[in-house]
Each structure stands twice: as structure tokens, then as C-alpha cells.
Amino acid sequence: MNTTPEIHRDDLASKTGMWLFLFTEMLLFGGLFVVYSVYRFRNAQAFHLAAHELNVAIGTINTIILLISSTTIAMSITAIQKKNKKFALLLLGITILLGLAFLVNKYFEWGEHLKEHIYPGSAVLALRGQGDVLFYGLYFFMTGLHALHIIIGLIFIGIITSMIYRDKITYNNFVLQENSGLYWHLVDLIWIFLFPLFYLIT
Amino acid sequence: MNTLAGIAEPSYIEHKGKYKGLLSWILSTDHKRIALLYLFSILTFFVVGATLGLLMKFELIAPGKTIMTPQAYNAFFTLHGIVMIFAVVIPGLPAVFGNFLLPIMIGAKDVAFPRINLLSWYLYVTGVSLVLISQFAGQGPPDTGWTFYAPYSFRTTGNMLPAVFGAFVLGFSSILTGLNFLVTMHRMRAPGMTWLKMPLFPWALYATGWVQLLATPIIGITLLMIVAERTLHIGFFDPTLGGDPLLYQHLFWTYSHPAVYIMILPAMGAISEIISTFSRKTIFGYNFMVVSTLAIAFVGYFVWGHHMFTSGMSGTAQYAFSLLTFLVAIPSAIKVFNWISTMHNGSIELQTPFYWAMAFVFVFMIGGFSGLILGSLAANVHLHNTHFVVAHFHFIVFGGTGFAFFGAMHYWYPKITGKMYDTRWANIGLILFFIGFITLYGPMFYLGFKGMPRRYFDYDEVFHAGNILSSMGSWVLYSGLAIIIINLFASLKSGTRASADPWGGKTLEWTVPSPPPVENFEEIPTITKGPYEYK
């Protein structure tokens, strides 16, 4: 009599679960996009002028960084399927480095704003009017929440990398890696919307 | 598999796993044990919430200060709301009975993600703990009401942060439960169980799962915005910074209206099971029941504006929201008609769960009709923020979800525990509960109609008589509740053993032993018939 519960594995279920989770992430940011559109509509002029002050160069670089990192993580999944463990590890390493580079850029970008005393609740910002307060409030909150997702994604990918290293993820059992890829693509996708809404609306 | 007669597999309660004692429960990934973890936590918080309500009714027994200050009263209704909404009625039926029965009813061994299931419970406990911490730490308990309306929620000196963040964590727990159930139903139905052979309780959980998944993130982000508003002064909802408090209300109700369908849909599902079983008949209009379940979940997204008729919105928006609100009544009415038609010509067996179902249909109808009164624009202007709203809400959420919760408890108790409860005490408890309920909330319709506002610790002398009656009702209700709970616990020891199918039910959970073995089924069944075929 076999009393140990059988190990139940259903890759499609895992992926379905991940997709459903991504829906919730989209709605989480969806709430913020609604708030953004309302205030953008009410303060069109101020948003237009404030967006001029953002550093489009850093924003563009970060967009490119994320797009490339999405490619590398997608390639790493193919590499695993082709049993090329080393190449997969290399690609995941590059993905992590690109994610870190994104955060470093963000650090310098935010640092610039803080130096000019532009942050939520600052007196300097309050003097510039309500449109600017809302623009920067949304800017810090939305890109901040996005950066938090980048950090979570990096931790997730870090775990996946170590699992591949320890052969816990192999060519016939890679659904977790696929899920980490899905998550990373979502983080990328949200940035694709944040970038024009804050940097390119001038 | 051992086929020797008399040697059955150990039940999930007796099963010896890796851990012993308490650890074997709080580290278990068995959906049945997790369901019981939820049951005990939810019952505890239900008693906490009910006691707060009882004390509030003491305060309202006479005009002026009776037992508490205005500020204490504000804190009481806030905590009562947060605990009852986020920690009791939203997880109530899905997390307890959904967890226990969904896998069994669709012929599966567990949910799709057992470990995430356990994680949901831990998130639930964390969330409630945060809410409770807010009562004792910082500069006094939250006093905004459970709706956290802007700008109170970031102006008050009350300790809002842990409460708001706690509600966020509870939302996350609810999302994971919904996600888990959805995937379970998509991937793990027994062979032959097509979508239209699935019982109605799982169907209700399916619709609920989508609402949990697609509505909860909105309140998640809204609560995070309140947290940011308090800590960083971003200005999302602060008029002095250019923000709009009305926008908060829109975002809040975009979730919180669908949330009442998270509460009521599983209740309707459980009632369908009970009525079919005790009428010995297949449910009348099964397909209509399924469609109306999905329709309620869908239309429920588009009616949030009816909470804000007096907050300021365009006439066109008011007409649209009012019309949509009336539309939700149609699928709900279909359900009531079908329940009644199921009983028609059935061989009705009068047992405690069936009485609960009858009580449910009665109070749910009153709650539903009063909802239509509130949904019509002219009446709403008069009744908004009066006790009429409180009465309507409690008839639906306490009368609907609460009665269904206890109905489900008495229906599935033999399955969960393997014991029968004392029917006589159960019925006495139910009668007191029902009488107390009507006496407590019935007068509130009248008081609200006469103009008594909600959320005040004091009222004008003209409302005195109704309030005395209402407060006395709360005592009867509370004693009924005590009898019900004590009876269920006492029956764990003194109850007789329950057979696998004590009620003559036809759904899959009645084919396995009571209490079910760890793996639910020795062999996954193949389904050839519909869920309620009695002939």
C-alpha cells in the first residue's frame, strides 16, 4: 500500500496560474493609469511642462536595457530546452546585470530630482503648483512601484539561476523558468507604457 | 491498494504526516486541514466582530452617551467593519467550504497549488494581525469607517497605516485563493466532468474566483495610494495638493461593490446544493443558475456608482448606474425563482440545513428588494447614509452570506467532522438567531426611512423606541449564535458517527467517507451523470 502522496505535476496549470497572476498585476497598475489619465486631463499644461524636465536620455537607455533583458531571458529558456545549461546561465546572468543597470540608472535619475528638492511633500515642489505636485507624485509612485517589481523580478530570476545551476530546472522541467520569464516580460511591458506617459508626452 | 474489509485509509484528521500536533495543522498543505485553519480563524474573528456590534447596540439603546464616548464609537464601527468585511465575509465561504469541498466536489485530490493555498492562510493571519495591531499601537485606533474615505483617512490622527496595509494583505490572500480555485477547476476536474456537469457550489466559486482576481488589485493599489498619501503626501486624493477625494471613492467602490458579490455568490452556490439535496430533486433550471451566476459577477463590475449618487456625479452617470443596478436584480431573482421551483413537487425533508436555506431565501429577498429602493435615484437621495442602508447591507451580507455560512456549516458538518450534531439545539439556535436578526435589523429600515443617520453614537429622542427594539434583538441574536456555536463544538464529542451520506446528497463529496481520507478518493471517479440526478 502506497501511502506517500504522489507528486502531482501540471506545467499548464502553473503557467495558467502565472497568467492569472499577471492579470492582477496589470490591474494593479491599471488603477494607477486611471489616476494618471484623470490628472493628466485636468492638468494638461503642467504635465506637459513638467515632462520636459525628465531626462529622456536615461529613460531611453533604460527602455533599451529592459527590451534587451527580455530577449536574453527568452533566449535562456530556449537554451535550457536545448540542454545548453552553460549558455542558459550566461543569459540569465546578463539579464540580472541588465536589471541591475536599470536600477543604477534609476538611482542617478532620482538622485538628480532629490538634489533639486523635487520629491513628494517637498516645499519647493509645492510652490510650483498642483499640476507639478501631481505629476511628480505619480512619477515617483509609479516608477517606484515599477522599480519594486524589477527588484522582485531580479530575486525571482536569481532563484531560477541557482536552480538551474543545481540542476533543479532541466530541459524537461522548466516551467518555473518560463514563469519567471513571463513575469519579467510583464515588468518590461509596464515600463513600455510608463516611458511615453512620463518622458515623451512633451 | 489494500482491499481488506474494515481497513480503510486513515481520514485527514487521523492521518500521521511529517509533523505532529499543532505543526501538523499549520504546516499542512492538505486543502481540508487548511479549510479548518480558516474555519477556526474566521469563527474567532466573527465572534470578535459580533461582540463589537453587540456593544455598539448597547450604546444605541438610549440617546446620549450610554457606555462609550463618540470617539470610541467611531473606532468600534471602524473595527467592526474591517474585521467583518475583510476577515469574515469575504473569505468566509470560499476559504472554508470552498477549500474543503471544491476539490472533492470536482473529483480532485487537492487544489492546484497546495502550498500557495497555505500561503494564503498565512497572509490572512498577517493581515488580520496588522488590523488588530492598529488598535493598540500608535495614536489611537482607526476611526474612518471600513471605507477609509479620503480625506479622513490621511487627516485623522488614528493609527491608519497598519489597518490599511492589513486590508491590502488580506486582499492579496483573497487573490491567491481565487487564483488557486480557478486553476483547480480548469485543470483538475475528474474525467467526464464537463463544465455543465459541475455542481453549482463550484460554479459559484468559479465566478467568485474571477471577481477576486480582477477586482481585488484595484483596492490593493488604492490602499497603497492611501499609505503613500499618509507617509509621502503625494496628493492623489488631497484637494489641497490638487487631488480629488471623489476619485478615491470611485476606485474604492470599483472593488468594493464587486466584493459584495465575492460575499454573496458562494452563499448562493451553497444554498443551491442544500435546496436540491433536501428536495430530492435536480436543481430547477441548472443552466440558468450557471448563467445567472456568471451574469451577476459580470454586471456587478459596472454598478459601483450607486454608492456615490449623492457624492457628485453627472446626471447621465446616475441614470446609467441606476439602470445597471436594476439589471443585477434580474439574475438574482432568477435564482430565487429556481430555488422555489426546485422545491415544487420535491420530496422535501425538513432538516436543519434546509431551515437555514429557507431563512436565507427570506432575508435575502428583503435585502434584495430594499437594494432596489436604494438603487432608484430619488429614493436614494433621501435614504443615503441613513440606517436604511445599514439594514439593507446587513440583510444581504449578514442575512445572505451569514445565514448561508451557517447553513453550509450544518450541511457539511457531518462530512467535515464525521459526527452528527444535536438537531434539537441546532434548531433552537436557528430560531433565536432568526428572530433576533429580524428584530435587530428590521427596525433599522423604519429608523432610516424616518431619517436616523448612520455612524453616530447619539440620536434624536424620536428614534428611541425603534432603537430599544433593535438593541433587544441584538441580545436574542447573540444568544442564538452562542447556542449554535456551543452545540457544534459539543457535538464533536457527544455526536453520533455520521455515515458517508447522511442527507442523501448526490454530489461527489457524499461518495467519500466522513471524514474524507487524505487523498479524498481511492480512485478518481469517472463522471457520467449530472450533479443532481435523483432518479
**pLDDT band at residue B5, thresholds of 50, 70 and 90?**
very low
Domains of chain A plus CATH, in order, are 31-199 (1.20.120.80)
Question: Domain locations in chain B?
Answer: 28-511
Mean of pLDDT values over B430-459 = 96
The model's pTM: 0.94
CB B252: neighbour CB atoms within 10 A? 22
pLDDT over 60 at B1, yes or no: no
Cα→Cα distances A128→A47, A120, B381, Å: 12, 12, 40
Residue that wins the pLDDT comparison between B5 and B30: B30
Across the interface, whether the CB atoms of B235 and A133 are under 8 A apart is answered yes
Mean of pLDDT values over B360-367 = 96
Chains A & B: contacts with CB separation below 8 Å: 109
**Three cell numbers written together for B458:** 447619539
CA B510/CA B48 separation, integer angstroms: 33
pLDDT over 70 at A5, yes or no: no
pLDDT in tens, B101-127: 999 999 999 999 999 999 999 999 999
pLDDT over 60 at B2, yes or no: no
Mean of pLDDT values over A96-109 = 97
The answer to whether residues B454 and B416 touch, using CB atoms and an 8 Å cutoff, is no
The answer to whether residues B171 and B219 touch, using CB atoms and an 8 Å cutoff, is yes
Q: Give me the residue from B218, B228, B241 closest to A31, CB to CB.
A: B218
Q: State the alpha helices, DSSP H only, in B376-422.
A: 377-383, 387-396, 403-417
CA B527: distance to chain centroid? 30
Query: What percent of chain B clears pLDDT 70, i.e. is strictly above it?
Result: 98
Across the interface, whether the CB atoms of B217 and A145 are under 8 A apart is answered no
**pLDDT band at residue B8, thresholds of 50, 70 and 90?**
low
Nearest-CA distance A185 → chain B (Å): 19
Mean of pLDDT values over B361-379 = 95
CA B426/CA B486 separation, integer angstroms: 10
Helix (H, G, I), strand (E, B) or coil at A93: helix
The answer to whether residues B299 and B324 touch, using CB atoms and an 8 Å cutoff, is yes
Nearest residue to B60 (alpha-carbon basis) of B478, B482, B474, B479: B474
Domain B28-511: give its CATH architecture: Up-down Bundle (1.20)
What is the residue whose three cell numbers read 463529496? B509
pLDDT over 90 at A201, yes or no: no
ipTM: 0.92
Interface contact B220, partner A, CB < 8 A:
yes
pLDDT in tens, B144-175: 999 999 999 988 888 999 999 999 999 999 99
pLDDT over 80 at B535, yes or no: no
**Using a CB-CB distance cutoff of 8 angstroms, which residues of chain B are in contact with residue A28?**
217-218, 220-221
Mean of pLDDT values over B43-64 = 96
Q: Give me the residue from B217, B233, B247 closest to A38, CB to CB.
A: B247
pLDDT at A171: 92
**Using a CB-CB distance cutoff of 8 angstroms, which residues of chain A are in contact with residue B242?**
39, 43, 129-131, 133-134
pLDDT over 60 at B4, yes or no: no
Across the interface, whether the CB atoms of B217 and A25 are under 8 A apart is answered yes
pLDDT at A9: 82
**Using a CB-CB distance cutoff of 8 angstroms, which residues of chain A are in contact with residue B217?**
24-25, 27-28, 30-31
**Using a CB-CB distance cutoff of 8 angstroms, which residues of chain B are in contact with residue A31?**
217-218, 220-222, 225, 251
**Three cell numbers written together for A155:** 530575486
Q: Give me the residue from A12, A35, A140 closest to B187, CB to CB.
A: A12
Q: Give me the residue from A16, A24, A141 closest to B187, CB to CB.
A: A16
pLDDT over 80 at A4, yes or no: no
pLDDT in tens, B333-342: 999 999 999 9
pLDDT in tens, A140-164: 999 999 999 999 999 999 999 999 9
**pLDDT band at residue B3, thresholds of 50, 70 and 90?**
very low
The answer to whether residues B83 and B48 touch, using CB atoms and an 8 Å cutoff, is yes
Query: What is the full DSSP assignment across B127-171?
Result: HHHHHHHHHHSSSS---S-TT--TTHHHHS-S-HHHHHHHHHHHH
Interface contact B518, partner A, CB < 8 A:
yes
**pLDDT band at residue A3, thresholds of 50, 70 and 90?**
very low
The answer to whether residues B343 and B272 touch, using CB atoms and an 8 Å cutoff, is no
Q: Give me the residue from A5, A129, A133 closest to B519, CB to CB.
A: A5
pLDDT in tens, B276-320: 999 999 999 999 999 999 999 999 999 999 999 999 899 999 999
Query: What is the full DSSP assignment across A9-39?
Result: --HHHHHHHHHHHHHHHHHHHHHHHHHHHHH
Average pLDDT, chain B: 94
Interface contact B234, partner A, CB < 8 A:
yes
**pLDDT band at residue A7, thresholds of 50, 70 and 90?**
low
Query: What percent of chain B clears pLDDT 90, i.e. is strictly above it?
Result: 90
Nearest-CA distance B112 → chain A (Å): 7
